[in-house]
Amino acid sequence: MNPILAVESVGLLAPGLTGWAASRPILTGEQPYSATPMPPPSAVLLPANERRRVTGLVKLALHVAQEAIDQAGSDPQTIHTVFASSGGDSEVLDKICMALTLPDRPVSPTHFHQSVHNTTAGYWSIATGCRQASISLSAHDGSFLAGLREAATLAWVESAPVLLIAYDAPHPFPLSERRVIVAPFGVALLLNPAPDDQRLALLRLTQTATAAATVMADPGLETLRIGNPAARSLPLLEVIAQPAGQWITLADGGNMGLCVEVTP
Amino acid sequence: MAINPLAMTAYTVTNALGRGMAAALTALQGGLTGLRRCDFADAVLNAWIGRIVGLEDEPLTGEFTAFDCRNNRLARLALEQDGFRLAVDRAIARYGADRIGVFLGSSTSGIRATEIAYHERDPATGSLPTCFDYQHTHNLFSATDLTRRWLGLTGPAFTVSTACSSSAKAFAVAHRHLQTGFCDAAVVGGVDSLCLTTLYGFNALGLASTALCRPWAAGRDGLNIGEGAGFVLLERAEPGDERILLLGYGESSDAHHMTAAHPEGAGAALAMQQALARAGLAPAQVDYINLHGTATPLNDAAEDRAVLRVFGPHTPCSSTKGWTGHTLGAAGVTEAVFVALVLDQGFMPGTLNTRERDPALGAGVILDNQQYPVKTALSNSFGFGGTNCSLLFGRRNAP
């Protein structure tokens, strides 16, 4: 199997990183990074009644997914999806756990069905009409790495494009005291096993046993990288933004890492 | 074109029927349910549950103390049955620990630990008790992390969490990782344990029965929640392999509704058709179907339409939820291992607790156990969010 994947497009939303086009000069170092507050994600894909019901985390994931699809001009119905998130929707889980401490334990049926890790995948498939295979996964801080590897296997086995969406957001109190996520971060990569001329970059993946991940030189971006599992993608995004080829290592200590060679 | 099959080198299952394969086989063949009136923690619910007796008294200790919670106790308990660890040790010797992946499914992981922590919040500050360890209990990765550490594996590892299809999809994940060379073997499985979130959540949705669940019965009125864990060691099949093989898998999304299955079972049918196509088999070559069969009115009706569309009314099928309850994220592996028992022992389990089939449904559901030399069998797992997975197992030399 040819271990190559083309990155067709990127969706990105985090503090100071508002969309791929605006973020690219920051990632190449042409502009300084500043952690300005993240604009609220739009989930225009959803019908208005659903948009009111879903949490900010779901909107974040749908927002970056749609940016990637729009940038590539792809038909989402044809695209497999991988949703990678360490903790999923802690806002919903917090409400359920709080309700369970009250008399008669009034768990909201809406919160309960939104508590599954594949809630975002469900909303995405309903909104786009996509019936393709979809995986929702977690590997704690290694969730982006696991998602990239799974997306690669799907793309290669199915010879079809795969949309990888990684997203995590700060947990509400009191969970926030036991799991620190410093800021919201959502990224979507549209990956194609059959490279064409429109690509942003070409990735070549190899396994590595090293535990040393590539870090960000900018202190603000490094704070983000270590403070949000989805932001572990930043070194990869940085080299995708560069015009010259480089390689980076994604590792989480324990899980097999990935060495990614990135060429234009 | 048919995929390269994977061999089930070792497998084990632990649930309300007991610990390990012998307990499961005895209960399945004897028609003995593992379900009981709800007696979990301080839950006050008119419900039936599939609880594993004694988990409460078997904490994880020593280097694994941080992982101690109901879900990880269940994972550890299941890992120690049926010589599973010995089989993994042999695989490590053959391939190396870094060439074996761990892919487990779970829906709620160790959320029970968080439920308890919320109950014990500091009355003044609202903080959770300092002994609460989110990463090693509640986080979705924790049972997978425990499993790879327990077995000494360092290959790719993650938790699939797609509600009730989770541990079925773990088989598809493993197949892809072996097919693309990221692994040479994989431990797949799933763990989901009782918690108030699912007991009260399904109750709030009106999907939990106050009686024993009755899949495919006319008056069926909901599911029973169970807990369970199962593990399978998968390796590439060899020429002339006589082990039970994963022949095909199918995955789809309903794109219809968050909790209600597509009324025509469109996504479910797609998953079954994909599994057949990947196995290179025609519907008539499948001897038995283990249904998802949760016993909610809509789910069974949708699955019935899907089975009829793909297989017609004559393929024998049944739901084993009346034995174990619905073990949610562990249902896929639990029923995959039941299918292995079916293939191994030459019998088809009936549909426990159901005495009369709903005349509105048409699939070939059997109510009583039957002796039959099953060579090829399908297992269905569907979940919230419209996620569907079908797995096809059999032996290569099936006539």
Across the interface, whether the CB atoms of A153 and B179 are under 8 A apart is answered yes
Q: How far apart are CA A138 and CA B114, in angstroms?
A: 18
Question: Which among B143, B184, B152 is positioned nearest to B333, based on CA atoms?
Answer: B143
Residue B355 CB-density burial (10 A; 0-12 exposed, 13-18 middle, 19+ buried): exposed
Tokens of A126: 């309903």
ipTM of the complex as predicted? 0.97
Q: Judged by CB atoms within 8 Å, which residues 10-49 of A form the interface with B?
A: none
pLDDT in tens, B124-167: 999 999 999 999 999 999 999 999 999 999 999 999 999 999 99
Across B40-58, average pLDDT: 96
| Active-site residue flag, B138 | no
Supply the pLDDT for residue A254. 66
- Checking if the pLDDT of B281 tops 70, the result is yes
Cα B378–B322–B31 angle (5° rounding)?
Answer: 95
Q: Judged by CB atoms within 8 Å, which residues 70-109 of B form the interface with A?
A: 98, 107-108
- Checking if the pLDDT of B83 tops 70, the result is yes
Mutate which of B46, B148, B176 to test chain A, going by most A C-beta atoms within 10 A? B176
| Active-site residue flag, B292 | yes
Find the closest chain A residue to B100 by CA distance. A256
Q: Which residues of A touch B203 (CB under 8 A)?
A: 107
Question: Which among A223, A204, A206 is positioned nearest to A215, based on CA atoms?
Answer: A223
Domains and CATH numbers, chain A: 7-198 (3.40.47.10)
Supply the pLDDT for residue B278. 98
Lowest mean pLDDT among A113-122, A136-145, B68-77, B255-264: B255-264
Please give, rounded to a whole number of angstroms, the shortest distance from the CA of B89 to a CA of chain A.
19
Q: Which residues of B touch A251 (CB under 8 A)?
A: none
- Checking if the pLDDT of B396 tops 80, the result is no
Across the interface, whether the CB atoms of A150 and B155 are under 8 A apart is answered no
Supply the pLDDT for residue A53. 87
Largest separation between any pair of C-alpha atoms in chain A: 61
Across A170-192, average pLDDT: 97
Supply the pLDDT for residue A2. 64
- Checking if the pLDDT of A253 tops 80, the result is no
Lowest mean pLDDT among A46-55, A94-103, B184-193: A46-55
pLDDT in tens, B306-346: 999 999 999 999 999 999 999 999 999 999 999 999 999 99
Residue B206 CB-density burial (10 A; 0-12 exposed, 13-18 middle, 19+ buried): exposed
Question: Which among B26, B148, B130 is positioned nearest to B79, based on CA atoms?
Answer: B148
Q: How far apart are CA B361 and CA B359, in angstroms?
A: 5
Mutate which of B184, B387, B390, B391 to test chain A, going by most A C-beta atoms within 10 A? B387
Chains A, B: CB contacts under 8 A, how many?
210
Question: Which among B91, B103, B249 is positioned nearest to B185, based on CA atoms?
Answer: B91
- Checking if the pLDDT of A3 tops 90, the result is no
Q: How far apart are CA A61 and CA A66, in angstroms?
A: 9
A98 in B contact zone (CB under 8 Å): yes
Across B352-367, average pLDDT: 98
Band of pLDDT at residue A264, cut at 50, 70 and 90:
confident
| Active-site residue flag, B136 | no
Question: Which among A192, A203, A4 is positioned nearest to A80, based on CA atoms?
Answer: A192
Closest CB from A118, A129, A254 relative to B154: A254
Mutate which of A58, A141, A162, A178 to test chain B, going by most B C-beta atoms within 10 A? A178
Supply the pLDDT for residue B156. 96
- Checking if the pLDDT of A182 tops 70, the result is yes
Closest CB from B133, B253, B258 relative to A134: B253
* B38, B164, B195, B389: the active-site residue: B164
Mean pLDDT, chain A, rounded, equals 94
Contact predicate A120/A92, CB 8 Å: no
Band of pLDDT at residue B22, cut at 50, 70 and 90:
very high
DSSP state string for B281-300: --GGG--EEE------HHHH
Supply the pLDDT for residue B398. 47
Closest CB from A101, A117, A149 relative to B156: A149
Band of pLDDT at residue B236, cut at 50, 70 and 90:
very high
pLDDT in tens, B193-216: 999 999 999 999 999 999 999 999
The DSSP letter of residue B365 is: B
- B97 torsion bin: left (phi>0), alpha (psi -120 to 50), beta (else): alpha
Band of pLDDT at residue B399, cut at 50, 70 and 90:
very low
Percent of chain A with pLDDT over 70: 98
Q: Which residues of A touch B118 (CB under 8 A)?
A: 97-98, 100-101, 174
Supply the pLDDT for residue A9. 97
Closest CB from B132, B176, B196 relative to A105: B196
Question: Which among B167, B133, B138, B21 is positioned nearest to B83, based on CA atoms?
Answer: B21
DSSP state string for B181-195: TS-SEEEEEEEE---
State residue B13 phi and psi, 5-degree precision. Answer: -145, 140
pLDDT in tens, A45-89: 888 888 888 999 999 999 999 999 999 999 999 999 999 999 989
Band of pLDDT at residue B84, cut at 50, 70 and 90:
very high
- The domain covering B6-394 belongs, at the CATH homologous superfamily level, to Thiolase/Chalcone synthase (3.40.47.10)
pLDDT in tens, B369-382: 999 999 999 999 99
- Checking if the pLDDT of B244 tops 70, the result is yes
Q: Judged by CB atoms within 8 Å, which residues 183-212 of A form the interface with B?
A: 207, 209
Contacts of A138 (CB under 8 A, 6+ apart): A84, A85, A86, A87, A88, A117, A146, B139, B140, B141, B158, B159, B161
Q: Which residues of B touch A107 (CB under 8 A)?
A: 197, 200-201, 203-204
A135 in B contact zone (CB under 8 Å): yes
Tokens of A190: 């549209």
Supply the pLDDT for residue B348. 98
Supply the pLDDT for residue A1. 56
